[in-house]
DNA sequence: GTCTATAGAAGGATAGAC
DNA sequence: GTCTATCCTTCTATAGAC
């Protein structure tokens, strides 16, 4: 009974994840979600009152899933170089399994920045990265890390891993023309990006 | 008469550019475009039969505008390093004036990859970059450029300049938390990105 | 070429039976 | 909890007057 209910709600939610990720909020249709969940449109509203509610739930879960992948960096007890290598390996592997997620998240946030604001407003980034700098104090002489370059470097790291997926649609077309295989390119990128960044920031 | 017609069509087109860029194909409303153009909804259909026709025209123009910014690199008679610096300066300046363009293009292509296929299918990228390698043959000893690393390097360059705008929504929120100004960050990036890449690819 | 009015379809949401 | 039937709004598109 409650087991069955749980199953239905779960099935709806999973269908919604796929459809929203594929079509975006504006492009997604409740009918499409219902069809994919194998149930009736009315049931969607029974479980999640409105389209916006359903989207909100899906978006929050997917956004957290995405950003959680960034946090282990701050905790692991590794050297800075090892952290960078660890990040690219883990994060790119994650996106291999969720290739449409980056584009979806970026796009929905651009359409409604306040969505992400709610999720991260209580994170103190300033404190967070001062902690990083402190924790790696004895390595800093090797790298060109300052309060001023840090935003540049961190966004460079993010861009190196996220961009290929956010631009997957274009890259696949260009790569086909070049005889390059997207999946192999991605596999290579895990190490290439790490080497690239480390080289760039080493004094 | 024909002058007036030209004016109206132009006004509609410009309104459509703004609305589509802001809302995307699925989110844009013909009524919004009409209002912004200061004319009636019916006139939209008089000039551009359907929403899809209008979108197609707008997308094609904007996509070309975006990708045209990549081509001067291949033509200018500069050293590789100067070309990289030139690219970041020009491309980022262009996006400062069109900050929503990258996200829009990437998103619409992901939703319908065949759109871009039509636009670039007759470009021979293979030939294009063999020409580059050839043209800079005498500098290649300085850089780690091979047939295998070239896709990695070129996408890294693209990502370094495009990503900050594609992720503008997130970055602005995070930066606010950090006391970093987005516009200053972008201004800095023109030189930072060039330094970063050149450092990374130099042997 | 431009407008008003409206058709016609699609999509989100609800009522009510089981 | 789940379904069918249907309402109501929104949106694209067209007809027809000027």
**Residue-level pLDDT at A3:** 59
Token pair of A156, please?
Answer: 């460079």
pLDDT tens per residue across span B127-163: 888 888 898 999 999 998 888 899 999 999 999 999 9
Q: Which residue approaches C3 most closely, CA to C1'?
A: B40
Q: Strand D closer than 7 Å to the CB of A1?
A: yes
Does the pLDDT at position A69 exceed 60?
yes
CA distance, residue A4 to nearest chain B CA (Å):
35
Nearest chain B residue to A123, by CA: B177
With tokens 């970063």, the residue in question is: B196
Q: Sort out which chain A residues have CB atoms less than 8 A from B159's CB and list them.
A: 159-160, 162-164, 167
pLDDT digits (tens, 9 = 90+) for A137-167: 999 999 988 888 999 999 999 999 999 999 9
Beta carbons within 8 Å of A74's beta carbon, 6+ residues apart: A128, A131, A132
> Helix (H, G, I), strand (E, B), or coil: what is residue B147?
coil
B/e letters for B85-122, b = 16+ CB within 10 Å, e = fewer, are bebbebbbeebeebbbbbbbbbbbbbbeeebbbeeeee
Protein contacts on strand C: list nucleotides below 7 Å from a Cβ. Answer: 1-5, 10-16
The region of weakest confidence among A64-73, B153-162, B165-174 is A64-73
Structure tokens at A142: 């090797």
pTM for this model (two decimals): 0.96
- Assign B3 a pLDDT band (cuts: 50, 70, 90): low
In the structure, what pLDDT confidence band is assigned to residue B5 with cuts at 50, 70 and 90?
A: low
């Amino acid at each position: 009974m409650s087991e069955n209910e749980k199953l239905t709600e779960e099935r709806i939610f999973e269908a919604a994840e796929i459809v929203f990720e594929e079509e975006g909020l504006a492009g997604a249709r409740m009918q499409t979600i219902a069809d994919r969940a194998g149930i009736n449109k009315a049931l969607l509203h029974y479980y999640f009152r409105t389209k916006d509610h359903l989207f909100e739930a899906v978006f929050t879960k997917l956004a957290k899933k995405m950003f959680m992948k960034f946090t282990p960096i701050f905790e692991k007890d590794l050297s800075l170089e090892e952290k960078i290598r660890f990040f690219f390996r883990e994060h790119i592997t994650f996106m291999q399994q969720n290739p449409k997620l980056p584009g979806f998240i970026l796009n929905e946030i651009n359409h409604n920045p306040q969505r992400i604001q709610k999720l991260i407003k209580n994170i103190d980034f300033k404190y967070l990265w001062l902690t990083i700098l402190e924790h790696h104090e004895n390595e800093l002489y090797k790298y060109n890390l300052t309060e001023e370059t840090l935003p540049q470097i961190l966004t460079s790291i993010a861009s190196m891993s996220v961009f290929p997926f956010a631009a997957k649609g274009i890259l696949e077309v260009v790569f086909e023309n070049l005889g390059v295989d997207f999946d192999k390119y991605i596999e290579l990128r895990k190490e290439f990006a790490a080497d690239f960044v480390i080289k760039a920031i080493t004094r």
